[in-house]
Structure 1
Amino acid sequence: MISSRPEPFAYEHALPSSTVRLYHIALSPFCRKVRLVLAEKRIEVELVEDRYWEPGTELLRRNPAGKLPVLRMDGRLMAESQAICEYLDETIPNPSLMPASAIERYEVRRLCAWFDDKFNTEATQPVMNERVWKKVMKTGYPDSRTVKSGLKAIKDHMDYLTSLLETRRWLAGNTMSLADFTAAAHFSCLDYISDVDWDRSGLLQEWYATIKSRPAFRSLLADHLPGVPPAPHYAELDF
């Protein structure tokens, strides 16, 4: 379903209008969130890695905000992962990732914002920046205090999410939603480097194992960032 082939932006105008292309970077929770939705909707997509920190990147031309992912679909370049995911869910409604009622959709959006803002700021970003991106981008050595703070935040967030799962089948309610894919996108990045203490919460581990087993997750489990190998258990469904 998914192929990965780098190609210069200059050729983009020659793409057939039906071609769906995602400019992304591995281990970005925002890119992974969109990848999960595309796969769940069974949309064939071409993945193009954009190492935006290297010379020659065209990221600012595709998205003036300078952020990934960028989706080329329906003759448009689209940015912002939440907006992309809701566009996909509205235009390809089956399977639906947003609930029927307004209050349920509110809860999904609240949790998506929780992960993309609060969880990312306190946990994903500091840990990944220090332990992965400084090495990949060659910008220095990890700051142990920042890593320690991020790891503590992961545990605090896990406790909160466990309290939600004590009364719900999924994070936002009794049906799987975009909130679950958003959360899984963040946890999968941290799990790649073995920074999630799954023994802390059996409920959360069971939730992640369930969503990790979905076909939509397969391409994420095949990711391998050069110079940063995944944890031994990363691709295992029974962990």
Structure 2
Amino acid sequence: MFTLFHHSFCPHSRFIRLALGEHGLEMRLVEERAWERREAFLALNPAGTTPVLTAEGQPPIPGAGLIAEYLDETHGADLGERRLLPSVMAERIEVRRLMAWFNEKFFEEASNPLVTERIYKRFMSEQNGGGAPAADVIRAAKANVRYHLAYIGWLAKTRNFLAGDRLTYADLAAAAHLSAIDYLGDVPWIEDDAAKAWYARIKSRPSFRPLLSEWLAGVPASRTYVDLDF
């Protein structure tokens, strides 16, 4: 069994949880507050970021990108035609391009500032950066969500899934980041029907159920978060 060091609202952690679920692999979850920089966790990942995947007899695997590649190399073939990283090179490149778009660009511009300001800061000490949410940061991030949502909508209108004809890591990465901020009510679904319809399809998958069942004390989920027919 795998052990995943994660945080429930870390978008990268959510991506790997979805990937493990799609592979049908069992996992033990260990919540990690990365900002506390525990020595034992830093020994697993000196960068001090989640997620980190461990398995008996294997070195720790840090970071969503490395974990996704590891899962494909070790378990991807078991999925056959449902493989999350396609075998055709051009398709693999497109999946990796979109994974990077969401795990790097969307994360930097939208999901990370929103989750940090509205969730993480509640639990951080002042020394670790805690305090009141920065309104200007939230305002800029919410504006960025709008153009990312438009891009997702364009992809969804021109393809069956974001990277092509079938579900891939690209869909899971995008949905993971969106889910973290949808909990907060920060996704303007009314602005793009194609993006909304695509997300509803991904959100209805069995791998998504554990995410939708998690709640944060003191921060109620938005109306759209658990509604599969939002």
User: Equivalent residue for 1:3?
Assistant: none
How far apart are residue 54 of structure 1 and its match?
3.8
User: Equivalent residue for 1:39?
Assistant: 21
How far apart are residue 161 of structure 1 and its match?
1.8
Answer yes or no: is 1:107 the counterpart of 2:94: yes
Give, in whole Å, the separation in 1 of the partners of 2:94 and 2:153.
Answer: 16
Matches within 5 A, 1:1-239: 19-54=1-36, 56=38, 58-76=40-58, 77-93=60-76, 94=79, 95-138=82-125, 139-239=130-230
Give, in whole Å, the separation in 2 of the partners of 1:119 and 1:169.
Answer: 21
Give, in whole Å, the separation in 2 of the partners of 1:58 and 1:216.
Answer: 29
Cα RMSD (Å): 1.5
Report if aligned partners of 1:51, 1:57 keep a CA contact under 8 Å in 2.
Answer: no
Report if aligned partners of 2:153, 2:192 keep a CA contact under 8 Å in 1.
Answer: yes
How far apart are residue 132 of structure 1 and its match?
1.5
Give, in whole Å, the separation in 2 of the partners of 1:90 and 1:67.
Answer: 23
Report if aligned partners of 2:154, 2:194 keep a CA contact under 8 Å in 1.
Answer: no
Give, in whole Å, the separation in 2 of the partners of 1:181 and 1:122.
Answer: 18
CA deviation vs aligned residue, 1:87-130 (integer Å, no higher than 9, x gap): 11221121410122111111100011011111111111111111
Judged with a 3 Å threshold, the aligned counterparts in structure 2 of structure 1 residues 124 and 89 are, in CA distance, closer, same or farther, namely same
Select the structure that is richer in helix: 2
How far apart are residue 55 of structure 1 and its match?
7.4
Judged with a 3 Å threshold, the aligned counterparts in structure 2 of structure 1 residues 66 and 165 are, in CA distance, closer, same or farther, namely same
Q: Which runs of 5+ in 2 are unaligned?
A: none
Judged with a 3 Å threshold, the aligned counterparts in structure 2 of structure 1 residues 223 and 114 are, in CA distance, closer, same or farther, namely same
Give, in whole Å, the separation in 2 of the partners of 1:235 and 1:131.
Answer: 19
Give, in whole Å, the separation in 1 of the partners of 2:161 and 2:121.
Answer: 34
Q: Which runs of 5+ in 1 are unaligned?
A: 1-18
CA deviation vs aligned residue, 1:169-192 (integer Å, no higher than 9, x gap): 111111110000000010000001
Report if aligned partners of 2:37, 2:48 keep a CA contact under 8 Å in 1.
Answer: no
TM-score of the two chains, using structure 1 as the length reference: 0.88
CA deviation vs aligned residue, 1:38-78 (integer Å, no higher than 9, x gap): 11111111111112334755210111111111111252211
Q: The residue matched to 1:23 in structure 2 has which SS?
A: strand
Count of paired positions: 221
Q: The residue matched to 2:216 in structure 1 has which SS?
A: coil
How far apart are residue 224 of structure 1 and its match?
1.6
Amino acid at match of 1:27: F
TM-score of the two chains, using structure 2 as the length reference: 0.91
